[in-house]
Structure formats: structure tokens, C-alpha cells
């Protein structure tokens, strides 16, 4: 974080979207600003893909049209989030520097004509991106319209791992810095396996395509290297801008959509977290994925408010079937983001482009124009957000943490895992989903961070777990915390090397079990477990052969390869409790599990109807309860206060309309943590 003040100089909630005036004639610009004011827009992102029009040949700049645009916006009271256009270098750049082309793992060289990512390790690209960022900052640092800087666009997409010669050179330097001695690298990578021992730095290549899986530790390091190189690109531009400009600087993340960037590390570098989010349309409950993304955006920023930099007013254009949002859905989505900590709601994009690859992406002004459902909803949302200005700056509080570790994501995603049927993303969703249905608000967290503030910590898939992280989790339980761990956790260390002692050994103190063997199920094989009370749940995808040391068995396998063995265990450890679930449970099983775990942790599930999403933000003087009704029927909420969208006073009970939303200013909750410190 480069300075203390980290929020754009804007009144109320930020509202707007990407604005690409270069795609339209000047008469449209004048219409745009009128319509923006009509819609309540106060912030637009400009210049994200404008490099070719700003630097027309190497070192030759033309800012005239951008001056005009920014002045026009300013005259109309609309602030600017000014982009650096470095996600898409111009045609002349690639013609002049053909060596900067991005190379895929199989050696395919990427052509020009899409979003033209260059090699993040190419010196020519690095220089050029700093040059344009510098020139933009020099020119617009003091423009009163500019309140935020937007570096690049969605780092890591559409491609991240570059295998060009420039990348290989940079990789060797990065490795020398990381390991200093080749012996350390050989040890970390386990090069005694398959005869991969290195005797010189210059013999090391990128983990390019091989006929059988490449060294997993090498690949994991390449993911780290790639993340590092991308982040250095950001830092280089950020620092160039900072030389001239004092506004906050951000770049738009893709939380829960692209896992190639370690957002914990990235969030430390930006002044304000911003995130892009798009519903996965094939998922009929895509709002759960949205909630994950919002909670992750908030969590990586340490709970600070953040900006939803892009979402869509309706359908997108890049999915197999681009489902349009139904009336009210965009409002629900927007309010969920806000309820989960966003203080800015922006869209891609202001006006639907007539040409190019994204012309079928929805926008604030669709191809059908302003006399349209979408523009009416956009305008209404602008009004809603003005009524919610006071929510700005308030914070979400959570009693539960779910572990989310990008490095473990990368490691688990490599080839030759025990079964294709288990992925990190799916495990996160499975556990989060139960908490979401129960309206238990969640932070995401790293295994090694201070977890003492949480009543419950959930590790749905912590495949890679450093010893220090494991020690932290054991200590968390010892000190009274409740820990819930799924199968395939605590397997390897930071080098994808199996822990001494076997699978899960580092967590044995907390969990009281060891895993003797993984027992993946055949495709679509569905088995059963029996709980101690005789009820049954489904066992899917995975079972295990457990050695129970100090734990109590809560459920047994009825059938499948684990037949008669322990399936779910509970371990009293110090002042706390460690739960272990060695199979994938069906929905009823997850409910049974969490009921028991909540009881241990002292967590109370919300008593609202399932599908009424309720989140609370806490401000200095009041709390704000956001209620989003995903159901097709009205839902009752017990609350007292003032509903801010309607101004209605609510005394004890509010009915949220089918598909509707409400935000209620209510009294501050009782102080946290003081009432029952001994029960945790």
C-alpha cells in the first residue's frame, strides 16, 4: 500500500462502468454524459484499451481526444478512473518487437488481434508499459476529474504462464534469487526423481510440455514465478504513476474466476481492492459463486471496503450459453456485492459496443437503447445507491473463516492427483454453500494467519499446508477454536513433497487421526455413511482408510472401499475441537455435519428462510442489514430499523418481496467476543 488514504475522492457509493468513447463519434459522447447523469453515474473507467490511440508510434503521444473526454466528463460532474492501456499493446509494438510475443506451454506463439498480452518478462514490454503509464500520470495527475488509477486489466487473463525465451531468462534469475544454491533447488524440486538433477542454472528451462507430467515442484514454482512477474508489472506501473500522482491506484482482480494471481499478495500492493465478477450462467445458483467472490475480495483486502469494478447488467458473451439476467437480478447482484463490503458498483460497460469480440456482452446502455428494461434498471440502481450513501465505509464481520490458499490451488491443480473428481474450487464451493444457505457470514483466510478471532475455521481442501500453517491450526484448536478439515488436506509442503509421517500428519494433534490410504471411488459411484445416531448420508468421490488415534468416530462407512471404517471424526484437543471428514458428503450430509460443528463452535445459523441472503455491515453509529431475496416468493426477516431504499420504518419484521432487496439501518450489535470468551 503506497499511502494511507486509499479511497477515491468521491461522495457516496461509486457508480458507473467502463467507458470506451474511442469506439463512438463525438456526438455520442455528448449524449453519454447526459445519460450518465440521468443514471446517477459518478465514476467511469477510461482508457483501458487505448494504447494504440494514445501512443501512435514508439514514443509519439496523442492525448488530445482523451483530454477532451476527461474534460467533458469533468464538466458533467463525472469522475474518472484512469486506466493504463498496457493489457493490449499496439500493433506497431509487436511489429517492432516480435520477440515480445506470448508463447504457450506447447510452443505456440500467440498472434495479434485479440487482447494482445505480451510476454510479461520481455524488457521491451516492460519499458513500453512504464513509458505509457508515466506519460499518462504526468499529464493527468492533477486533473480534478481523475480520482483513481486503474493499471492494466485483469492481470493473468486470458493467459498467464509465458514460455517465451524472455520468460525463461527471467525464470532462471528468479530461481537464483529464490534458492541461491543449486543444491537447494535440487532438494526442493526432488530432482533425484526421474533423473532430473541440475548441475548448472543455465540447464534449467521452463516446464514446457512433456510427454508425461513434468516435475510438479518445478511447475508450482513456475506458477509462483508467473504470479511474481505479473505483479512486478503492476508494481512497475504503479510506481511510475506515483511519481506524479497522489490518487489511489488499483488493478481489477478476478476473485473466484481466475486463480493464477495470489490475491493476498496483490492486495498488499494496491491502494484499494477492486474486483470484476461475472455469473457463471450454467449454474442456477450463481449467486453463491458471487458471494464467494465478494467475500474473497473483502478478505484479501483485510476487510476494507472494495470496488466492484466490473459486472454485467445482463448476459455476457464468452460463455457457452450467455443467459440474460432476469428483471431484478442485476439489482440483487449489486446489493449483494454492496452488502458484502463493496462501496462501488461498476459495470462492463457503459454502452454496448457495436463491433469486436464482445459486442454481445450486455451493457448499461444495450443495443436496444435507453428505452429498454436494462437501462431502466440501471437508472433505478443509480437511485438506490444514492439512498445507500451512508453505508459507505462500514465493515462486514464474520465469525467463521474458510481457508483459501492460492498456492494450494496451484499445487492441487497439477496432474496425477488421486482422482479427477476432486478439485479445490469444488471443495470450497461445497463447504461455502452450506454456510451460505445458513446465512453464516464468512471471511476467507490463510492457514498461517491469526485465526483467534474466529469461532470456526473450515479447511475444505488444504492440500498444500506448510508446517507453520499446520502448527498455527493446531494451536488455534488448542486455544479453544473449532476446526473442520476435509479429506486431501495437509498432504504436501510448499514443494509438493508429502509430509513426513504420511497424509495429514501435520494436523494429527488437532484432528486425532492419520490417513493410511486414499480410497477414491469409481466414476458416479455413490456410497453411504452412517452417523452415530443411525441416520445415513451419501458418500461420494472419495473415501479413506483412517487410523483413529485420539478422535471419536462420528460416522462410519456403510459400504465402498472404506466399508466399516471411520468416515467422520471429532477430536477434543486442548480447549478446542478438530473435525475431520474423509469423504464428500451429499447435501443432507453437509447439513448434518455442520449442525454438529456449529454446536461445537457456538455458531448460530440464521433462522431466515433458505434463499433469503442476509449480511450485516457495521459502521461507527449503526449497522446495515442487507437482505436479498433469491426466492420466487416473499420472505420474512426479523429486524428493526429503517429500510433505506424506501425510507420505511421497520419494527421487528420486514417482508422482502420475491426477488427483492432491502437494506435496513439498525442498531449496532452488542460488542463482539466479550460475552462468552470461555466457550470458544
Task: By CB under 8 A, name the one of 1, 324, 553, 558 that touches a second copy.
Answer: 324
Task: By CB under 8 A, name the one of 278, 350, 518, 594 that touches a second copy.
Answer: 518
Q: What is the dihedral of CA 458, 463, 468, 470, to 10 degrees?
A: 50
CA distances from 154 to 56, 135, 252, 287 (A): 24, 22, 5, 21
- Residue with smaller CB distance to a second copy, 198 or 531: 198
Among the listed residues 73, 76, 25, the one whose alpha carbon sits nearest the alpha carbon of residue 46 = 73
Name the one range near a second copy by CB under 8 A: 5-13, 224-232, 430-438, 516-524: 516-524
Task: By CB under 8 A, name the one of 367, 387, 530, 591 that touches a second copy.
Answer: 367
- Positions 32 through 61 that interact with a second copy (CB under 8 A): 49-53, 56-57
Task: By CB under 8 A, name the one of 77, 356, 393, 602 that touches a second copy.
Answer: 356
- Residue with smaller CB distance to a second copy, 236 or 367: 367
* Interface size with a second copy, residues (CB under 8 A): 123
- Positions 464 through 503 that interact with a second copy (CB under 8 A): 492, 495-498, 500-503
Among the listed residues 445, 406, 426, the one whose alpha carbon sits nearest the alpha carbon of residue 542 = 426
- Residue with smaller CB distance to a second copy, 357 or 648: 357
Is 65 a residue that touches a second copy (CB under 8 A)? no
- Positions 132 through 171 that interact with a second copy (CB under 8 A): 157-159
Strand-strand pairing, 584-585 and 542-548: unpaired
Name the one range near a second copy by CB under 8 A: 131-139, 262-270, 417-425, 606-614: 417-425
Q: CA–CA separation, 396 vs 207, rounded Å?
A: 42
Task: By CB under 8 A, name the one of 521, 612, 639, 663 that touches a second copy.
Answer: 521
Is 425 a residue that touches a second copy (CB under 8 A)? no
Before 158, cis peptide (omega within 30)? Answer: yes
- Positions 371 through 390 that interact with a second copy (CB under 8 A): 372-374
Close Cβ partners of 478 (under 8 Å, ≥ 6 residues apart): 509, 510, 573, 574, 575, 576
Is 22 a residue that touches a second copy (CB under 8 A)? yes
Radius of gyration over every alpha carbon of the chain, rounded to an integer in angstroms: 26
Is 232 a residue that touches a second copy (CB under 8 A)? no
- Residue with smaller CB distance to a second copy, 207 or 305: 207
Among the listed residues 345, 344, 415, the one whose alpha carbon sits nearest the alpha carbon of residue 7 = 344
Task: By CB under 8 A, name the one of 2, 6, 23, 666 that touches a second copy.
Answer: 23
- Residue with smaller CB distance to a second copy, 30 or 359: 359
Residues 445-452: contacts with CB under 8 Å, at least 24 apart = 445/299, 445/401, 445/402, 445/403, 445/404, 446/264, 446/403, 446/404, 446/405, 447/403, 447/405, 447/472, 447/473, 448/472, 451/401, 451/476, 451/481, 452/476, 452/479, 452/481
DSSP state of 208: -
> Where do runs of H (alpha helix) occur along 569-635?
587-601
Is 426 a residue that touches a second copy (CB under 8 A)? no
Task: By CB under 8 A, name the one of 33, 41, 117, 627 that touches a second copy.
Answer: 117
- Residue with smaller CB distance to a second copy, 22 or 269: 22
Report the b/e string of 431-468 with b at 16+ CB within 10 A.
bbbbbbbbbbbbbbbbbbeebeebbbbbbbbbbbbbee
- Residue with smaller CB distance to a second copy, 144 or 158: 158
How many residues belong to the chain? 680
Angle between helices 216-242 and 123-140 (to 10 degrees): 30
Note if 154 is an active site residue.
Answer: yes
Catalytic position from the list 55, 161, 287, 310: 310
Residues 513/502, Cβ–Cβ less than 8 Å: no
Q: CA–CA separation, 485 vs 117, rounded Å?
A: 39
Is 184 a residue that touches a second copy (CB under 8 A)? no
Name the one range near a second copy by CB under 8 A: 9-17, 73-81, 358-366, 641-649: 358-366
Q: How far is the CB of 23 from a second copy (least distance, A)?
A: 5
Task: By CB under 8 A, name the one of 239, 269, 285, 358 that touches a second copy.
Answer: 358
Site map 252..281 versus a second copy, x via CB under 8 A: -----------------------------x
The 10 Å Cβ neighbour count of residue 134 is: 17
DSSP reduced 3-state for 627? strand
Q: How far is the CB of 321 from a second copy (least distance, A)?
A: 4
Q: How far is the CB of 79 from a second copy (least distance, A)?
A: 23
Instruction: List, as one string, the DSSP characters of 249-293.
Output: EE-EE-TTT--SS-HHHHHHH-SS-EEE----TT-TTHHHHHHHH
Is 638 a residue that touches a second copy (CB under 8 A)? no
Task: By CB under 8 A, name the one of 59, 77, 144, 369 that touches a second copy.
Answer: 369
Q: How far is the CB of 522 from a second copy (least distance, A)?
A: 6
Site map 192..221 versus a second copy, x via CB under 8 A: xxxxxxxxx-xxxxxxxxxxxxxxxxx---
Q: CA–CA separation, 548 vs 54, rounded Å?
A: 66
Catalytic position from the list 55, 154, 237, 643: 154
Name the one range near a second copy by CB under 8 A: 365-373, 467-475, 550-558, 634-642: 365-373
Residues 197/234, Cβ–Cβ less than 8 Å: no
Task: By CB under 8 A, name the one of 15, 94, 598, 624 that touches a second copy.
Answer: 94
Residues 500-506: contacts with CB under 8 Å, at least 24 apart = 504/580, 506/465, 506/467, 506/470, 506/471, 506/474
Residues 50/85, Cβ–Cβ less than 8 Å: yes
- Residue with smaller CB distance to a second copy, 265 or 505: 505
- Residue with smaller CB distance to a second copy, 218 or 626: 218
- Residue with smaller CB distance to a second copy, 222 or 624: 222
Which residue's entry shows cell 479447511? 459
- Residue with smaller CB distance to a second copy, 37 or 169: 169
Is 423 a residue that touches a second copy (CB under 8 A)? no
Site map 524..563 versus a second copy, x via CB under 8 A: ---------------------x-x-------------x--
Task: By CB under 8 A, name the one of 352, 391, 401, 654 that touches a second copy.
Answer: 352
Q: How far is the CB of 382 from a second copy (least distance, A)?
A: 20
Name the one range near a second copy by CB under 8 A: 133-141, 404-412, 517-525, 592-600: 517-525
How many degrees, rounded to 5, is the angle at CA 22 between CA 18 and CA 28?
A: 85
- Positions 602 through 621 that interact with a second copy (CB under 8 A): none
Note if 285 is an active site residue.
Answer: no
Residues 457/403, Cβ–Cβ less than 8 Å: yes
How far does CA 473 lie from the centroid of its chain?
23
Q: What is the dihedral of CA 28, 77, 82, 298, to 10 degrees?
A: -120
Q: CA–CA separation, 45 vs 73, rounded Å?
A: 11
Q: How far is the CB of 330 from a second copy (least distance, A)?
A: 12
Is 631 a residue that touches a second copy (CB under 8 A)? no
Q: CA–CA separation, 162 vs 154, rounded Å?
A: 16
Active site residues: 154, 310
Amino acid at each position: 500500500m503506497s499511502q494511507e488514504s486509499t479511497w477515491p475522492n468521491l461522495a457516496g457509493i461509486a457508480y458507473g462502468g467502463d467507458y470506451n468513447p474511442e469506439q463512438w463519434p463525438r456526438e455520442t459522447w455528448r449524449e453519454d454524459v447526459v445519460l450518465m447523469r440521468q443514471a446517477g453515474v459518478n465514476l467511469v473507467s477510461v482508457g483501458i484499451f487505448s494504447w494504440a490511440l494514445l501512443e501512435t508510434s514508439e514514443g509519439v503521444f496523442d492525448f488530445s481526444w482523451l483530454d477532451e473526454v476527461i474534460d467533458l466528463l469533468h464538466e458533467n460532474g463525472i469522475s474518472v478512473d484512469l486506466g493504463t492501456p498496457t493489457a493490449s499493446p499496439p500493433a506497431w509494438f509487436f511489429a517492432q518487437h516480435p520477440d515480445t510475443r506470448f508463447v504457450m506451454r506447447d510452443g505456440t506463439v500467440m498472434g495479434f488481434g485479440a487482447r494482445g498480452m505480451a510476454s510479461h518478462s520481455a524488457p521491451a514490454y516492460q519499458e513500453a508499459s512504464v513509458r505509457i503509464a508515466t506519460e499518462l500520470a504526468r499529464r493527468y495527475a492533477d486533473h480534478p476529474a481523475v480520482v483513481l488509477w486503474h493499471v492494466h486489466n485483469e492481470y493473468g487473463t486470458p493467459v498467464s504462464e509465458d514460455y517465451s525465451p524472455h520468460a525463461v531468462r527471467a525464470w532462471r534469475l528468479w530461481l537464483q534469487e529464490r534458492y541461491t544454491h543449486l543444491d537447494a533447488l535440487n532438494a526442493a524440486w526432488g530432482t533425484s526423481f526421474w533423473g532430473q538433477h541440475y548441475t548448472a542454472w543455465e540447464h534449467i528451462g521452463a516446464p514446457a510440455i512433456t510427454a508425461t507430467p513434468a516435475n510438479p515442484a518445478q511447475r508450482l514454482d513456475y506458477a509462483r514465478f508467473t504470479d511474481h512477474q505479473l505483479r512486478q508489472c503492476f508494481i512497475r506501473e504503479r510506481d511510475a504513476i506515483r511519481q506524479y500522482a497522489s490518487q489511489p491506484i488499483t488493478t481489477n482482480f478476478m476473485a473466484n474466476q481466475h486463480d493464477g494471481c495470489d490475491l493476498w499478495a496483490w492486495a498488499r500492493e494496491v491502494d484499494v481492492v477492486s474486483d470484476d465478477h461475472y455469473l457463471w450462467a450454467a449454474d442456477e445458483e450463481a449467486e453463491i459463486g458471487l458471494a464467494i467472490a465478494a467475500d474473497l475480495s473483502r478478505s484479501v483486502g483485510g476487510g476494507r471496503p472494495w470496488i466492484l469494478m466490473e459486472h454485467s447488467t445482463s448476459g455476457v458473451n464468452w460463455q457457452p450459453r450467455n443467459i440474460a439476467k432476469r428483471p431484478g437480478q442485476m439489482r440483487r447482484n449489486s446489493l449483494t456485492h454492496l452488502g458484502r463490503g463493496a462501496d462501488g458498483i461498476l459495470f462492463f460497460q457503459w454502452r454496448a459496443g457495436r463491433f469486436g469480440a464482445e459486442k454481445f456482452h450486455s451493457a448499461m446502455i444495450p443495443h436496444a437503447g435507453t428505452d429498454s428494461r436494462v437501462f431502466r434498471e440501471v437508472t433505478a440502481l443509480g437511485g438506490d445507491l444514492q439512498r445507500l450513501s451512508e453505508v459507505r465505509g462500514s465493515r462486514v464481520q464474520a465469525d467463521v473463516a474458510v481457508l483459501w490458499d492460492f498456492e494450494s490451488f496451484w499445487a492441487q491443480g497439477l496432474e496425477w492427483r488421486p482422482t479427477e473428481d476432486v478439485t479445490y474450487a469444488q471443495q470450497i464451493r461445497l463447504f461455502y454453500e452450506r454456510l451460505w444457505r445458513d446465512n453464516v457470514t464468512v471471511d476467507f483466510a490463510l492457514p498461517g494467519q491469526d485465526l483467534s478471532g474466529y469461532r470456526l475455521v473450515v479447511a475444505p481442501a488444504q492440500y498444500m499446508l506448510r508446517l507453520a500453517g499446520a502448527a498455527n491450526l493446531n494451536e488455534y484448536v488448542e486455544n479453544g477454536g473449532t476446526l473442520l478439515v476435509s479429506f486431501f488436506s495437509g498432504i504436501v509442503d510448499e514443494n509438493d513433497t508429502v509430509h513426513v509421517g504420511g497424509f495429514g500428519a501435520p494436523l494429527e494433534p488437532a484432528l486425532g487421526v492419520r490417513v493410511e490410504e486414499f480410497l477414491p471411488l469409481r466414476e458416479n459411484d455413490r456410497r453411504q455413511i452412517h452417523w452415530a445416531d443411525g441416520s445415513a448420508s451419501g458418500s461420494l468421490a472419495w473415501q479413506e482408510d483412517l487410523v483413529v488415534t485420539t478422535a471419536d468416530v462420528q460416522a462410519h462407512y456403510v459400504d465402498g472401499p472404506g466399508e466399516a471404517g471411520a468416515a467422520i471424526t471429532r477430536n477434543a484437543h486442548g480447549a478446542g475441537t478438530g473435525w475431520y471428514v474423509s469423504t464428500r458428503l451429499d447435501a443432507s450430509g453437509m447439513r448434518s455435519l455442520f449442525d454438529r460443528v456449529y454446536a461445537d463452535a457456538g455458531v448460530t445459523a440464521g433462522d431466515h428462510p433458505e434463499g433469503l441472503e442476509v449480511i450485516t455491515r457495521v459502521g461507527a453509529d449503526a449497522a446495515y442489514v442487507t437482505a436479498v431475496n433469491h426466492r420466487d416468493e416473499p420472505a420474512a426477516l426479523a429486524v428493526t430499523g429503517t429500510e433505506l431504499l424506501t425510507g420505511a420504518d421497520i419494527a421487528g419484521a420486514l417482508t422482502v418481496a420475491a426477488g427483492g432487496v432491502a437494506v435496513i439501518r439498525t442498531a449496532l450489535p452488542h460488542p463482539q467476543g466479550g460475552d462468552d470468551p470461555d466457550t470458544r
